Each structure stands twice: as structure tokens, then as C-alpha cells.
Amino acid sequence: MADIFSPEKRSQIMRKICPKNSTYERIVQSIVSSLRFRYETNVSSLPGKPDLVFKRRKKVIFINGCFWHGHNKCKRSKLPSTNRDFWSKKIWGNIFKDGKTRRLLREKGWKYLIIWQCKIRVRNMQILENKIRDFLRN
């Protein structure tokens, strides 16, 4: 399927995507706050600059966009039909970098939880809350 936007418009749309404080991050932050856990955001001293950091617990949470991080078997992670080589390299580079980040965190004694964008849905909120609670308490 061809892109419905011109290359200029698609470029403009892609430039507006912000890596911090997305809607999905704010939803997860709201859940964490309702559970009364204290956290910091985007701590640059840790590998991968995690979205939520719980220093006393040595735990981090990443909220990953399915497209950008290549969520396996997710319809949101489908590569665009145009410029496939570029996007393939970009996404595989992110997947490689994510793996390296997780390995470095484990080596430093940190535990991590990855929450995929497609799992943040109204009908999944209780499941997501339970998953976060279990991760942070154990």
C-alpha cells in the first residue's frame, strides 16, 4: 500500500514524534503514581536512559513504541512500503541497541520491565497495573 502522504508531509509528521513524555508514558506514570511508587524519568546515567527509574529498588521500566522497537508479531511494527531499506536498518539498529541496553543493566544489577505500546489499552489497564505492581514489589 502506498503512503497516503507526500514525502514532505510524511517527513514533517515523523519529525513531530517526541521520544519523551508520550501519552503512553504518561498513562504508565499515572498507574505507577496511583500505586504510590516514587520514580525518576529518563535518567541519563543508566544505559538506555530508561523511561521510569526506581533507584532504591534498582528497577527500570521502558515504554516501547511497537514500530520503533520492532515489537515481534505486532501489527504496529509493520515496515512502511516505501524506503524499506532505511526503515529496516533503523528498526534493527534499535533492536540491537535495546538488547545491549538490557545486557548492560543486568550486568549492573538492575532489573527491567518492558511495556509495549500496544498493551496500553483501556481494557488492559487492570492487567497492566498488576504487572507493574508485581514487578516493583518482587
In terms of Cβ atoms closer than 10 Å to its own Cβ (0-12, 13-18, 19+), residue 122 is exposed
Distance, in Å, from the CA atom of 67 to the CA atom of 76, rounded to the nearest integer, reads 6
Tally of residues, the chain: 138
**If you average pLDDT over every residue of the chain, what do you get?**
90
Cell readout for 33 is 503514581
Average pLDDT over residues 107-124: 95
The model's pLDDT over 54-94, given as tens digits with 9 standing for 90+, comes to 999 999 999 999 999 999 989 988 888 888 899 999 999 99
Cell readout for 135 is 514487578
Q: For the whole model, what pTM was predicted?
A: 0.84
